[in-house]
Amino acid sequence: MEKILSIENLNKKYGRIHAVNNLNLEINRGNVFGILGPNGSGKTTTLGIILSVINADSGAFSWFGNPNSKEDRKKIGSILEQPIFYPYLSAVKNLRIICDIKGVNYSEIERVLHIVDLFERRDSKYRTFSYGMKQRLAIAAALLGKPEVLIFDEPTNGLDPKGIAEIRELIINIARQGMTIILASHLLDEVQKTCSHVAVLKNGNKLFSGKVSDVLSISDAVELSSNNLELLSLVIKEFEGTTDVNIEKDLIVARLKAGTTIYDLNYFLIGKGIVLTHLAERKKSLENQFLELLTENE
């Protein structure tokens, strides 16, 4: 897989606060990569560093396998923290400046304004925009010139539910086109719904990184119930594919070993003559997983 971004031993301190602590990260082409962490966990600082607006104390990063250069930044579309534009210029004039910096043709402006549904307001001054429109213009700016990578930092911050839904749909649509996306968020739900990979940050430390689906499958548990709960609990302990069996009221909750499926378990029970009244997979949500990760590292 082609590496888009690699970060090595990155450090940044603000006084006594270690905002980014020896961070290592790799992002491959086509990933929709979530950087998840509570506020103040170092997400924005990390993005600021890889976009050259914040100086790292030590460590290195490289885009597309090259040493840091402004030419590579032209191939990245990004929104950092909040939409930033010249308030006294219109949407089009603001986008022209970015086109000129990136070396992109002005004809792109119409295309991106249509994508975010701001074409009608193209000649309005930026300061007359609502927050949702400002955020959409920021996305339009990020899309100029069809960048290879998109970076969104808290893209739904400060938006109303309708705006949040619109922006997420937009991101998912962009992701479907195979673009590499880096999405920083403190909202699990957002990462869970949009990302293929995730790294969890806390106090500048990376707690976890991997596929979102891996995070979810680690914690598979199965709920079972039968008319004779005692018999069921005895029989299930004979099954080699479970690791942990607990009785919760009128349910038995069993954890399956890796490689064991619900099919295997059910097949085994049928062989033992047990008929189930209830069989369900209990998926730990990323949220539980996330909270667990955070508390484990307290």
Partner 1 sequence: MIRLLKIELQKHISYKAFWLMLLFYALLLAVMIFGIPGLIDYIAEKSGEPSKFRIFKAIVFNFPDIWQNIAFVASARFFIKIVLGIIIIIIVTNEFHFLTIRSNIISGLDKKDFLVAKIELVILLSLFSTLIIFLSGLYLGFMHSASKSVFDVFGKMVFLLGYFIEIFSYLLFCMMLGIIFKRTGITFVVHFVYLIVEPILDHNLNEKFTPYLPLNAINGIIKTPNTSLIKIKSPEFNYDFQEFVSMSDVGVCLGYAALFVGLSYLILKKRDI
Within 8 A by CB and 6+ apart from 211, the residues are 196, 197, 198
Tokens of 101: 């910096």
Tokens of 283: 């998926």
Q: How far apart are CA 190 and CA 160, in angstroms?
A: 14
Q: How far apart are CA 108 and CA 85, in angstroms?
A: 18
Residue 152 CB, shortest distance to partner 1, in Å, is: 13
For partner 1, give the closer residue by CB, 151 or 191: 151
For partner 1, give the closer residue by CB, 71 or 160: 71
Residues 20, 80, 91, 140: which binds partner 1 (CB under 8 A)?
80
Tokens of 119: 């074409």
Does the protein bind partner 1 through residue 78 (CB under 8 A)? yes
Does the protein bind partner 1 through residue 121 (CB under 8 A)? no
Q: How far apart are CA 294 and CA 298, in angstroms?
A: 7
Question: Which region among 76-84, 160-168, 176-184, 185-193 touches partner 1 (by CB under 8 A)?
Answer: 76-84
Residues 17, 60, 101, 247: which binds partner 1 (CB under 8 A)?
101
CB atoms within 10 A of CB 227: 10
Q: How far apart are CA 196 and CA 174, in angstroms?
A: 13
Tokens of 100: 């000129």
Residue 35 CB, shortest distance to partner 1, in Å, is: 17
For partner 1, give the closer residue by CB, 37 or 147: 147
Residues 13, 18, 29, 96: which binds partner 1 (CB under 8 A)?
96
- Interacting residues toward partner 1 by CB under 8 A: 48, 51-55, 70-71, 73-74, 76, 78, 80, 82, 84-90, 93, 96-98, 100-103, 141
